[in-house]
Structure 1
């Protein structure tokens, strides 16, 4: 059965689940856990993600994040590929560390946000990795201790969550702690592992193929939201993609951007750094990576750049986002 396309869009709330391949332990000790958290903190500090909740278990991890300056797929690729490489080097192992690709679910914020914060943070207690709620309060490998202020995580967005529990930090932390404690009697919540929600990667275009009418959306296993949420998703897809579009070929994009700036496509691979060549590289990288949701590595030889530099070029292109997105609209109308 083919993989379902993911959905990704700016300012979208995601519940992300990552598992070790064949139940492999992905965190063997605190040094591993600290390395993973450091990479997650870097993404949050860069503005790629806002992190509301997270929990590390021996063979899997949960994240509740909102996308920021880059697509979720790119952030997760950076997080998981970097961590897996460091893990394999440290433990002298080879091969894949994670099971297939991560699972991501787009969350309908109300009523799922706080329920998911509680659900994720109680995972170590259900595992059981910690014995009591009091131990969980100081356990450093979830965002729960950061919300209570017992472990400092300045990169975690605790303010967004706590302000929903009270007007002052002290009152909010007390009310949040009571709320989490009340969840102990609820046990496992399978409905929070698969719903509210729609999978993600590649922008709203990724779900254009799902457009089979309102009934199909409401019954799709990837969506478990209120009727209003389902309808909102349907409208946004239709506004962004009023008709199924053919996949834009890279060669077409390169040719049109180069024509736009007045150079031949061959100039990209000549190592030149003229303003026109630099501008074309930035525009192509921005449209291909940020707008169309493709990985940057395959683009590197086309642009005559090192793979890491492709993402730098995409960031430069973002400074002229309006110009490049306008060009992309014109390209789609004529291809």
Structure 2
């Protein structure tokens, strides 16, 4: 089943997982790992993204981050596209590096923040890449060493993490290390990769209580949190979806109104402007509609092309020539766009 769209709002906490295509390695050398970390160092501050935890394994990596003024999709696209291109050039290869698109889970902060910091930082021990916590304390490819003060990565927000463990840095690091050590015995924790309501409501039997559209959300891997958190996300996205639909409908009505106005001025039927005719009056009408819609009403070229049933090139010509055509007919922008009482 295809995944739904990304769930993201400014300030949201995400657990991000990126895997190599066909489980192949995405890191072949320390230079590869350094390359990715350099991209975090550049892109995180530029996008207002806070990174709290991370670990790099041969064929995948994990991040715990909070989005800022840039969406998670744009942040990760910048990181992954640049890295994949550089990786391919370094290793003289071609083709996709990553498995599909990255996975991101929207996380409820209070119950899961520290659990995920620990889960992500202990990943190298679970994978057998690092043997024990003492080795992990200074291992360069996990954010654990940064929290412990053994490595310096200014882009990693260690202060926020340590603030959960104590007032002084020294005491906080000691408490954090104990917290990490206590988590080693827990092993793999698949529940930390998403599926909010199925856990919170007591299993699949409880889902019958939900409305049909919400049922999909109950075990949606894009959300990790309590029933209240998932419900809140569901309502937020539903409201945004409704607002988006209203916006799309309003744009379509505005464009249709413009087509009617221009057609009336030229003595044409609305359908004639999108019927593929090449008469001068039809060509003029399309040009005027294209110019006003794109330059003054904020429609995209593709929107106008679909509405008029013409090519993008035809719309682009109209955008450039429509102003002169309006002037030749003595039409003003208000004549063609202002709502009639």
TM-score, normalised with respect to structure 2? 0.68
CA separation in 2, counterparts of 1:213 and 1:123? 35
User: How much does 1:79 deviate?
Assistant: 0.6
Deviation string 1:74-107 (CA, Å, 9 cap, x unpaired) is 1111111100000000100011100111111101
User: How much does 1:131 deviate?
Assistant: 1.6
Give 1:1-335 correspondences, 5 Å limit: 1-196=1-196, 212=212, 217-242=217-242, 245=245, 248=248, 266=291
TM-score, normalised with respect to structure 1? 0.69
Say which is worse superposed, 227-236 or 78-87, in terms of deviation: 227-236
User: How much does 1:225 deviate?
Assistant: 2.2
Asked which structure has the greater CA Rg, the reply is 2
> Over aligned residue pairs, what C-alpha RMSD do you find?
3.6
CA separation in 1, counterparts of 2:211 and 2:92? 47
User: How much does 1:231 deviate?
Assistant: 2.4
User: How much does 1:112 deviate?
Assistant: 0.8
Structure 1 unaligned runs (5+)?
199-209, 257-262, 270-276, 286-298, 304-335
State whether residues 211 and 217 of structure 1, in contact with CA within 8 Å, keep that contact through their aligned partners in structure 2.
Answer: no
Q: Return closer, same or farther for 1:252/1:189 CA change in 2, 3 Å cut-off.
A: same
3-state secondary structure, aligned to 1:27: coil
User: How much does 1:243 deviate?
Assistant: 6.9
User: How much does 1:44 deviate?
Assistant: 1.4
Deviation string 1:212-233 (CA, Å, 9 cap, x unpaired) is 4555543545444212212222
- Corresponding residue for 1:289? none
Q: Return closer, same or farther for 1:169/1:284 CA change in 2, 3 Å cut-off.
A: farther
CA separation in 1, counterparts of 2:25 and 2:13? 27
User: How much does 1:24 deviate?
Assistant: 1.1
State whether residues 11 and 68 of structure 2, in contact with CA within 8 Å, keep that contact through their aligned partners in structure 1.
Answer: yes
User: How much does 1:235 deviate?
Assistant: 2.9
3-state secondary structure, aligned to 1:46: helix
Q: Return closer, same or farther for 1:68/1:284 CA change in 2, 3 Å cut-off.
A: farther
User: How much does 1:185 deviate?
Assistant: 0.7
CA separation in 2, counterparts of 1:18 and 1:11? 21
User: How much does 1:266 deviate?
Assistant: 5.0
CA separation in 1, counterparts of 2:197 and 2:63? 15
